[in-house]
Every structure is written in structure tokens, then in C-alpha cells.
Amino acid sequence: MSFQHSIQQLAKEAVKLVKGVKVVGLGSGSTVGLIVREMAKLPDKESIEFIPTSLQIKLEAEKCSLRMTDESMIPYTDIVFDGADQIDSKFNMIKGGGGALLREKVLISAAKKVVIAADAPKYVHYFSRSVPIEVHPFARVVLSKKLAEIGGQPLLRTLDKGYPLVTENGNLILDTFFPSITDAKKMEVELKNIAGVLEVGLFTRRADTYYKAKNDGSFETISFQ
């Protein structure tokens, strides 16, 4: 038994939530990839339109013959499925490890219902990893300075060969470590207020359902409905 097995089991459980819905948002990452494969087995998948947040998930959804729609349908999103990099004790999240934080936050802000699936080690008492911050290339230098001034340690995200990672929106990501985040909502607003910051990987909207995958092959469901 493993996390992989428990994620496969929770993916089967998660797609049961897609009853009578018209528009489904798809976040990014390997867990969402598994959920997409389960969606492909739905008998009524032809009647559902899907909105992917990344090319990775779009390709997966195309492979599964899911019907894709565009951003004009975002206001009508019934449910969104996504993962997380860390979830704290108040159910705030850090997301953006895959670089799709801007689109993920747009979808999550619009969806009627949000479902998050993550491995048990990603559930922590306090955040202990860097916060991805999507920034306009023109603001890279000034933002690095400003983030350092407020106690952050920003690092430009690069690819294996050292090239800067460019998001699908044409922006850069500064992975910024903060020694402590006591008020995630306040910090999210403060960071978004800095000119040149396009999106922040702090997600403070509490999801309706969280799935916690365990390494013994089981999973736990935490529901706020």
C-alpha cells in the first residue's frame, strides 16, 4: 500500500461529487491527473464541460476525451478539483509548486464548490515552505528588493539548466520563504498590494472538501459542507 494507491482510491471517491454538474474546473499536478482519468469513466462525461488551468492537465483531459471549454465559462464553474503543496491547521494553503497559481486562484475564486486532495505530509500545523509569487518580468528586480525588505527570502524559480521558469501567462515566479506566516489572509492581501505582483500562492478560501491520502493506502475525508 502507498500514497499512490490511496490517491487512486480517493480519486474514485472524488468523482462521485460530479453529479448533475455542468462545468468542472481542473487544477494542476499529479493528483488532479489521476482524478481526470477517473472522470473519463463517467457515463455522462459528454454533458460536462471542463476548464483546465495548465497545459499539463489540458493534455491529460484531451487524452481522456473530456470536453474542454474556455475562460468564458469560469463564472459558471460548479466544482473545482485541485491539489496543494501545504495545508496548515486553519486550512489555508500554499499552492503554485507547478506554476499555475494564477489560473488556479481564478478558478477557485469562481467555483461554487472546491475539492482539494493532498498527501498526508502536506497537512502541517504551520507553513514551512516558500510561497510562490507570480510577478511581471518588468518588476522582478524591484520586487526581489521589496520582498526582502518585509522579511522574505525571494528566489527566482529556474529550470534544470538555469533558465528562468516562465509561466503560461508569460510571467516569472519568485519562490519566497517567510520565517513565519501568522496571518495568511493578511499576508495574501499585503503581497497582492505590491505593484508588479500578479498572484500569490497563499490560498485562504477554505475548500468544501479535503481528501488526505495516507501511506497505508487509505484516505481521510474532511468536509465543511
Give the pLDDT confidence of 102-156 residue by residue, as tens digits.
Answer: 999 999 999 999 999 999 999 999 999 999 999 999 999 999 999 999 999 999 9
| 39: pLDDT strictly greater than 80 | yes
- Residue 187 and residue 181 in contact, taking contact as beta carbons nearer than 8 Å: yes
Structural element, H or E, at residue 74: none
Residue 160 or 3, more confident: 160
- What are the structural domains, with CATH classification, of the chain? 3-124+204-217 (3.40.50.1360), 131-201 (3.30.70.260)
Residue 4 or 87, more confident: 87
Q: Is the pTM of this model over 0.85?
A: yes
Strands 113-119 and 153-156, by their bridges, are unpaired
Positive or negative torsion for Cα 129, 181, 207, 172: negative
Residue 2 pLDDT: 76
Give the pLDDT confidence of 7-20 residue by residue, as tens digits.
Answer: 889 899 998 999 88
Which amino acid belongs to residue 193?
N
Q: How far apart are the first and last CA of the chain?
A: 30
- How far is 144 from 136, CA to CA, in rounded Å? 12
Task: Catalogue the E-assigned strands of the chain.
Answer: 23-26, 49-52, 79-82, 86-87, 93-94, 113-119, 131-135, 153-156, 172-177, 197-200, 202-203, 209-213, 219-223
13 is an active site residue: no
Residue 4 pLDDT: 81
Which of 38, 39, 97 lies closest to 68, judged by CA? 39
**Grid cell of 18 as nine digits:** 460530479
Mean pLDDT of the chain: 95
Query: Count of alpha carbons within 13 Å of 7, Cβ hemisphere only?
Result: 19
pLDDT, mean of residues 41-46: 91
Which of 2-11, 45-54, 84-93 has the weakest average pLDDT?
Answer: 2-11
Residue 3 pLDDT: 74
Percentage of residues in the chain having pLDDT higher than 70? 99
- Residue 212 has φ and ψ, to the nearest 5°, of -115, 110
- The b/e string for 56-90 (b: 16+ C-beta within 10 A; e otherwise) is bbbebbeebebeebeeebbeebbbbbbbbbbbbee
At 1, the pLDDT band (50, 70, 90 cuts) reads: low
Q: Which of 60, 104, 188, 199 is catalytic?
A: 104
Give the pLDDT confidence of 163-204 residue by residue, as tens digits.
Answer: 999 999 999 999 999 999 999 999 999 999 999 999 999 999
